[in-house]
Amino acid sequence: MRISSHNTYQQSLSKKLTSWLKRHSRPLNPQSLEAAFLLLRLDLDRFSPDLELLYSASARGLPRFDPCCLLRSLLLMTLLGFTSIDKFAKELRRCPRLAQIAGFPPHKTPSVGAFYAFLDRLEDGPFKPKCPHPIRTSQLRKGRHRRNLSAEKLEKEARRKQILKDCDSLTHHLKQQLLQSASLARPLDLQSRLEDLLMKVAVKVSAERGLLGDLSRVIVSGDGSSLVSGAYRVGKPTCNCRKEGIYNCKCDRFYTDPSADWGGTLTESATTSATLSINTSYHLQATTFRFTSLSGLHLRLISRFH
């Protein structure tokens, strides 16, 4: 059940902003003001039915936080440049103005655990009663993953050579794959949910307001930018080679990221996630519209899972 609609949020925050802006002795931080103006216009009610699906229909257990406010908080976190949910949750609890920009009453904000539980729900998708058989997607991501990056690199290289033998180029192979899957339904995963969020809350609204101009001339494109993974790049050894004085063994290691790969720029080497990375832009003639805040959240959420 929704606790407050976007209209209620808009009216309440507009009043607060008017009073905060009059207080010259304690002015609102410019970054928070900019974030508040952006969130004021972002109608998350459009995504509310999708968020409601993530929860059980029966109202059991503790009263929950409004999922739209949780989502808005994550957007606020991104807009303010926080990279740690732990630090942001503490700041949200400490600062009443920040709490109200997110849509919560002062000092009654979600705990760190509530944010992580919300991220798990977003990843797991529509609510299903607990059952010992299916493993939730969020469970698969957690913990350490036994991997051997050197062996994976060799396998990848062999696969690349095979593709080049069968096709003219990697781009041609990718085109073939995309055309083959064009008629298939999108998987009901986190990526799709975040794409729906971007589409319903930002792209469609912008189109309805005429901000995208002639829709028949809009070109949607995406790139495969790599994201820096939070995983420790060296991993934890599974063997006892170091005790025997062997420091460069090729044994398996445990990594927190199930899919990260070595990569980076020429000057900087980093562990990057290669599987889930997308940066969608909407081009209209020479102008590029970037839905920065939502795309930012999109990227941050994806990188959070690695």
239, 269, 285, 290: which one binds Zn ion (CB under 5 A) = 239
188 lines the binding site for Zn ion (CB under 5 A):
no
- CB of residue 243 to Zn ion, shortest distance in Å: 10
- CB of residue 255 to Zn ion, shortest distance in Å: 15
Give residue 115's region: left, alpha or beta (phi > 0; psi -120 to 50): alpha
- CB of residue 148 to Zn ion, shortest distance in Å: 10
Binding span for Zn ion by CB under 5 A among 32-40, 220-228, 241-249, 259-267: 241-249
The sign one gets for the Cα dihedral 181, 200, 300, 236 is negative
Number of residues that bind Zn ion (CB under 5 A): 4
Q: How far apart are CA 152 and CA 262, in angstroms?
A: 11
∠ CA(72), CA(78), CA(81), 5° rounding? 140
Binding span for Zn ion by CB under 5 A among 94-102, 109-117, 146-154, 232-240: 232-240
- CB of residue 143 to Zn ion, shortest distance in Å: 21
- CB of residue 239 to Zn ion, shortest distance in Å: 3
251, 285, 288, 292: which one binds Zn ion (CB under 5 A) = 251
Binding span for Zn ion by CB under 5 A among 23-31, 58-66, 109-117, 231-239: 231-239
Place of tokens 């900087």: 268
Q: Which long-range contacts (CB under 8 A, 24 or more apart) does 79-87 make?
A: 79/31, 79/34, 79/35, 79/38, 79/39, 79/293, 79/296, 80/31, 80/32, 80/35, 81/31, 85/112, 85/115, 85/116, 85/304, 86/112
Calculate the CA dihedral of residues 227, 228, 231, 233 and round it to 10 degrees: 120
249 lines the binding site for Zn ion (CB under 5 A):
yes
241 lines the binding site for Zn ion (CB under 5 A):
yes
- CB of residue 146 to Zn ion, shortest distance in Å: 13
151 lines the binding site for Zn ion (CB under 5 A):
no
Tokens representing 95? 């600062």
211 lines the binding site for Zn ion (CB under 5 A):
no
DSSP state of 205: H
Which parts of this chain interact with Zn ion (CB under 5 A)? 239, 241, 249, 251
